[in-house]
Chains A and B, each alone.
Chain A
Amino acid sequence: MTDQAYNFAYLDEQTKRMIRRAILKGLAVPGYQVPFASREMPMPYGWGTGGVQVSAATLTPEDTFKVIDQGADDTTNAVSIRKFFEKTAGVKTTEETEKATVIQTRHRIPETPLSEDQVLVYQVPIPEPLRFLEPRETETRKMHSLEEYGLMHVKLYEDISQHGAIATSYAYPVKAEGRYVMDPSPIPKFDNPKMADCPAIQLFGAGREQRIYALPPYCQVVSLDFEDHPFDPSKAEHPCNLCGAEDSYLDEVITDDAGGRMFVCSDTDYCRARREAGHVGAQAAAMEEGANA
């Protein structure tokens, strides 16, 4: 039940309209950062104010909403944003990727492939991929408009010269539709290939920086690289300890101070669904054996 003190999804209708305009423009020019009049939200900058505004402008009363934070549905950021929209929009919420129509995410793309009737909303801290190479915004805008992206490769060059390989492991720069270089938000580079040719709409909101950008469905997204150092979507070389998945992105969890550690799926919904379907990882198997003995 929506709290009557709030307009649907917290923001007023004029603001949502302004944000939708920015989203449409962003979809029309994939990867281009559209300025928008970001509002104060009842949460601090850096906690997803951009994503929340994009979600608010995207949600309809019929939607089912899911929020993940680093892949998990049950972490502080995810729980509080989910509750925020439960209260202000009264929409149904879920933890299951397939059932959601709008998914707000912080730093992950769900493992379950997305479909055409879904919208993925990213929270973006720094939308400008060239920021740390060229601090002047006037200059980076010019570089985008003139397609001068040599500097982006200088960063990758520096990585190789220092580490022997491209060491950038998250927020790995991509080029959308062969034109704009964009920051995919700090998702692990493991997730980069999922952005390409994705049936779902992908929207990116940066609240503090007041920028929205977007990728329309089935958009071409290429991770930048060198001919002799091609892009490599790496992950930890382990299966998940709980569900045994070998194709999912893993979190490393330190379990004691004697070097004990375990690897578990960062996508909690994916891991749960696999375990319910009967998949068993190394640790879960060991625990079962212990119980039987």
Chain B
Amino acid sequence: MTPLLQVSDISKFYGVRLGCRDVSFDLFPGEVMGIVGESGSGKSTLLGCLAGQLAPDTGEVLFDTRAEGPHDTLTMSEPERRMLARTDWAFVQQHAREGLRMGVSAGGNVGERLMAVGARHYGDIRDQALDWLGRVEISEDRMDDKPTAFSGGMQQRLQIARNLVTGPRLVFMDEPTGGLDVSVQARLLDLLRGLVREMGLSAIIVTHDLAVVRLLADRLMVMKDGHVVETGLTDQVLDDPQHGYTQLLVSSVLQV
């Protein structure tokens, strides 16, 4: 089986400071990869490089495109990369405000990606938007409300609907549950897990919350100071951490 994403030797420096260094991994279709680490460990930098938002200094990111097979997204032309970002990729931001258009209604937010790939039939766009709002448990009568009138959890669910409406194959998530209270987090995780299973999505989730990766991720990568210090199956890494930092991380989780 061809990996959906093959990452090799990604390094990114900010001047003399290290962002991340020599990161390599493969991601297969339907697989969810978690990246954990403390603040400043380079996990968001890595995600930015993978999603084409930052230009890494070295390395390559091969994405298995529908038309032409594996293709290096870093040397791709910008129109091609942006096309991928609208169709096959999705990016869920930590802060829903960054991933949504706050001045546009919920329906319009979901419809934007459809219109960006050429949908020009109002009725169809609305039906699809409605269907997706239903899937993320936003009721029909909130469809024409602006996201400013939504709670944090609803905004995050709306962002997910907006991203998944074009049926992407790879989802990047940057702290999708950050800043939400635990009960809302739990429902969101439930929803995400359902969607990932149902649509066979591949996903890369960056988080510092070990509970999130325990629930969602098949595989785990632990980062520290820009380097990957440990990788493995999620349960294996969390139950039997080998590296000193991972041991510290696992033992630092508050027990209730």
**A residues adjacent to B (C-beta < 8 A):** 133, 146, 148, 150-151, 153-154, 157-158, 160-162, 226-229
Contact = CB atoms under 8 A, between A and B. Distances in A.
Given A148-B82, A227-B121, A228-B123, A158 B105 contact: yes
A158 B108 contact: yes
B92 to A, nearest CB: 19
Contact of A150 (B116, B123, B126): B116
B121 A154 contact: no
Contacts of B123: 228
Interface string B67-105: 000000000001100100010000000000000010011
Contact of B121 (A150, A151, A228): A228
Contacts of A226: 120-122
A161 B126 contact: yes
Nearest to B121: A227
Contact of B122 (A146, A151, A162, A228): A228
Contacts of B144: 161-162
Given A146-B79, A148-B82, A162-B144, A157 B125 contact: yes
Contact of B104 (A148, A158, A227, A229): A158
A133 B112 CA distance: 12
B113 interface: yes
Residue from B86, B108, B120 whose CB has the most chain A CB atoms within 10 Å: B108
B107 interface: yes
A229 B126 CA distance: 13
B115 interface: yes
Given A148-B82, A161-B105, A161-B144, A154 B111 contact: yes
Contacts of B122: 157, 160, 226-229
Given A146-B78, A146-B82, A148-B82, A154 B120 contact: no
Interface residues of B, number: 23
Nearest to B106: A161
B202 to A, nearest CB: 25
B82 A154 contact: no
B8 to A, nearest CB: 28
Interface of A is mostly: helix
Contact of A157 (B78, B79, B86, B111): B111
Contacts of A151: 112, 115-116
Contacts of B82: 146, 148
Residue from A133, A150, A157, A227 whose CB has the most chain B CB atoms within 10 Å: A157
B199 interface: no
Interface in B106-140: 107-108, 111-113, 115-117, 120-123, 125-126
A129 to B, nearest CB: 15
12 contacts: A133-B101, A146-B78, A151-B112, A153-B115, A154-B101, A157-B111, A158-B108, A161-B107, A161-B126, A162-B105, A227-B120, A228-B121
B121 A157 contact: no
Contacts of B126: 161
Contacts of A153: 115, 120
Given A157-B115, A161-B144, 10 more contacts: A148-B116, A154-B104, A154-B108, A157-B108, A161-B105, A161-B143, A162-B105, A162-B144, A226-B120, A228-B121
A211 B52 CA distance: 32
A154 B79 contact: no
A132 to B, nearest CB: 9
Nearest to B109: A154
Contacts of A133: 101
Contacts of A227: 120-122
A161 B140 CA distance: 13
Contacts of B107: 157, 161
